[in-house]
Structure 1
Amino acid sequence: MIRRSATFLLTFALLFGPGLNTYTASASTGRENATLGSTNKSTSAASTSALAKMPGDSNPLMTQKFGADPYAMVYNGRVYIYMSSDSFEYDSTGNIIDNDYKNIKSITCISSDDMVNWTDHGEIPVAGSNGPAKWASNSWAPAVTHKVINGKEKFFMYFANNGGAIGVLTADTPIGPWKDPLGKPMITTNTPGANGVEWLFDPAVLIDDDGTGYLYFGGGIPGGKNPTQSQIANPKTGRVIKLDSDMIHTTGSASTIDAPFMFEDSGIHKYNGKYYYSYCSNFSGTHPTGTPPQGEIAYMVSDNPMGPFTYKGTFLKNPQTYFGVGGNNHHAVFQFNNQWYVTYHAQTLGKAMGIKKGYRSPHINKVEYDGSGLIKNVQEDMQGVGQVANLNPYKRTEAETIGWNGGISTERCQAPGSMVNSINLDVTSINNGDWLAVSKADFGTGAKSFKANIASTVGGTIEIHLDSLDGQLIGTLNVNATGGEQKWKEMQCNVKSVSGVHNIFFKFNGANNKNLFNMDYWQFNS
Structure 2
Amino acid sequence: MNLQISNMLRIASILVLTVLLFTGSVYAQNPIVQTNFTADPAPMVYNDTVYLYTSHDEDSTVANFFTMYDWRCYSSTDMVNWTDHGAVASLKNFRWLDKTNGAWAVQCIERNGKYYLYVPIHGTGVCVLVADSPYGPFTDILGKQLVDSDHLWQDIDPTVFVDDDGQAYLYWGNPSVWYVKLNEDMVSYDHSIGNNGVVSVDMTAESFGESVRPDGKLGTKYVEGPWFYKRNNLYYLIYAANGVPESIGYSTSPSPTGPWTYQGLIMERYPKLSFTNHSGTIDFKGNSYFFYHNEALPNGGGFRRSSCVEQFEYNEDGSIPLMVPTKEGVTSSLEPLNPFKRTEAETIAWSEGLKTTEGSNGVYVSQINDNDYLKVRSVDFAKGAKKFEATAASLAGGKIEIRLDAKDGQLIGVCEITKTDGEAIWKSFTAKVDKVKGVHDLYFVFKGNDGQLFNFDHWKFIK
Calculate the TM-score normalised by the size of structure 2: 0.86
Contact 1:70/1:345 (<8 A) preserved = yes
* Deviation, structure 1 residue 356: 3.6
Letter in 1 for 2:260: F
Aligned-partner SS, 1:28: helix
**Is it true that 1:183 corresponds to 2:143 in the alignment?**
yes
1:412 matched to 2:367? The reply is no
CA distance in 1 between partners of 2:24 and 2:146 (Å): 38
2:17 corresponds to 1:28: yes
Aligned residue for 2:289, secondary structure, equals strand
User: SS of 1:490's equivalent?
Assistant: strand
User: 1:367-378 alignment to 2 at 5 Å?
Assistant: 367-378=312-323
Query: Which SS does the other structure have where 2:198 is aligned?
Result: strand
Q: Distance in 2 between matches of 1:373 and 1:391?
A: 33
Paired residue total:
428
Residue 29 of structure 1 deviates from its aligned partner by: 7.0
Identity %: 36
- Structure number with the higher strand fraction is 2
Query: Shift in Å at residue 197 of structure 1?
Result: 9.7
CA contact (8 A) 1:107 1:125 kept: yes
Q: Distance in 2 between matches of 1:83 and 1:133?
A: 22
The answer on whether the counterparts of 2:274 and 2:293 sit within 8 Å (CA) in structure 1 is: no
Q: SS at the partner of 1:390? A: coil
Do the aligned partners of residues 134 and 344 (structure 1) sit closer, same or farther apart at CA in structure 2, a change above 3 Å counting? Answer: farther
Q: 1:154 to 1:407 in 2, by over 3 A?
A: same
Deviations 1:109-166 (A, max 9, x none): 2111111111111123421xx3345416322100111011xxxx11111011114300
Conservation of the 8 A alpha-carbon contact between 1:366 and 1:378: no
Distance 2:26 2:59 in 1: 25
Give the match's secondary structure for 1:27: helix
Give 1:201's aligned residue: 156
CA contact (8 A) 2:72 2:85 kept: yes
In the alignment, which of 46, 50, 70 is matched to residue 41 of structure 2?
70
1:503 counterpart residue number: 441
SS at match of 1:378: coil
Partner of 1:108: 72
Q: What's the CA shift for 1:90?
A: 5.1
2:111 aligned counterpart, secondary structure: strand
Aligned to 2:119: 159
* 1:400 counterpart = 2:346: yes
Check if 1:310 corresponds to 2:261: yes
Partners of 2:133 and 2:123 lie apart in 1 by: 28
Q: Which residue of structure 1 lines up, in the alignment, with residue 93 of structure 2?
A: 131
Give deviations 1:343-397, integer Å, cap 9, x for gaps.
0011111xx44x5453211011123322222211122211111321211111111
Contact 2:237 2:251 in 1 (8 A): yes
Q: Give the secondary-structure state (helix, strand or coil) at the position aligned to 1:89.
A: coil
What's the CA shift for 1:342?
1.1
Indicate whether 1:514 and 2:451 are aligned. Answer: yes
User: Distance in 2 between the 1:303 and 1:197 partners?
Assistant: 32
Task: Name 1:248's counterpart in structure 2.
Answer: 187
Q: Distance in 1 between matches of 2:138 and 2:161?
A: 20
Deviation at 1:54, TM superposition (A): 5.1
SS at match of 2:434: strand
Kept after mapping to 2: 8 A contact 1:206/1:268: yes
8 Å contact kept, 1:268–1:276 = yes
Q: State the Cα RMSD in Å.
A: 2.5
Tell me which residue corresponds to 2:279: 331
Pairing of 1:10-409 with structure 2 (within 5 A): 26-28=15-17, 56-89=27-60, 98=64, 100-101=65-66, 103-127=67-91, 130-132=92-94, 134-135=96-97, 137=99, 138-148=102-112, 153-189=113-149, 199-220=154-175, 237-252=176-191, 253-259=197-203, 260=208, 261=220, 262-283=222-243, 295-318=246-269, 321=270, 323-349=271-297, 352-353=298-299, 356-386=301-331, 387-409=333-355
Amino acid aligned to 1:73: M
In 1, Cα distance between equivalents of 2:280 and 2:105? 11
| Alpha carbons of structure 1 residues 508 and 198: separation in structure 2 relative to 1, 3 Å | closer
Distance in 2 separating the partners of 1:395 and 1:53: 34
In structure 2, the partner of 1:465 is 403
| 1:229 counterpart residue number | none
Which residue number corresponds to residue 211 of structure 2? none
**CA distance, structure 2, for counterparts of residue 399 and residue 62 of structure 1:** 14
In structure 2, runs of 5+ residues without a counterpart are 1-10, 192-196, 209-219
Determine the C-alpha separation between the residues in 1 that align with 2:379 and 2:153. 49
Q: Closer, same or farther in 2 for the Cα pair 1:506/1:197, shift >3 Å?
A: closer
Distance 2:153 2:394 in 1: 52
**Alignment CA distance shift 1:402-1:348 (3 Å):** same
Q: 1:243 Cα shift?
A: 0.8
Q: Quote the Cα distance in structure 2 between the aligned partners of 1:114 and 1:53.
A: 24
Once the two structures are superposed, the pairs formed by residues 416-435 of structure 1 within 5 Å of their partners are: 424-435=362-373
The residue type paired with residue 214 of structure 1 is Y
Contact kept in structure 1, 2:274 and 2:302, CA below 8 Å: no
Kindly tell me: are residues 106 and 433 of structure 1, through their superposed partners in 2, closer, same or farther at Cα, counting changes over 3 Å?
Answer: same
Residues 275 and 302, structure 2, Cα contact 8 Å, conserved in 1: no
Contact 2:274-2:305 within 8 A present in 1 as well = no
Secondary structure of the corresponding residue to residue 26 of structure 1: helix
Letter in 2 for 1:375: I
- The one-letter code of the counterpart of 2:51 is Y
1:487 aligns with 2:431: no
Give, in angstroms, the shift of residue 257 of structure 1.
Answer: 2.2
- 2:272 and 2:295 in contact (8 A); partners too: no
1:286-330: per-residue Cα shift (whole Å, max 9, x none)? xxxxxxxx7222222122212222222221223xx2x34540121
Contact 1:297/1:317 (8 A) holds in 2: yes
Q: Which amino acid aligns with 2:74?
A: I
| Aligned residues of 1:26 and 1:324 also touching (Cα < 8 A) | no
Rate the CA distance shift 1:451–1:198 in 2: closer, same or farther, 3 A: closer
- Opposite residue 315 of structure 1, the aligned amino acid is I
Q: Which residue of 1 aligns with 2:194?
A: none
- Contact in 1 for aligned 2:272/2:294 (Cα 8 Å): no
Shift in alpha-carbon separation, 1:311–1:217, aligned structure 2, 3 A:
same
Task: Note if contact 2:70-2:87 (Cα within 8 Å) is conserved in structure 1.
Answer: yes
Listed as ranges, the gaps of 5+ residues in structure 1 are 1-22, 33-50, 92-96, 191-195, 221-236, 285-293, 416-423
Contact 2:93 2:140 in 1 (8 A): no
- The CA deviation at 1:30 is 13
User: Counterpart of 1:212 in structure 2: which amino acid?
Assistant: Q
CA shift digits 1:94-122 (9 cap, x unpaired): xxx73x11x31201221111111111111
After superposition, the C-alpha distances for 1:39-68 in whole angstroms (9 at most, x for unaligned) are: xxxxxxxxxxxx989555321101111111
Please give the alpha-carbon distance, in whole angstroms, between the structure 2 residues aligned to 1:146 and 1:31: 40
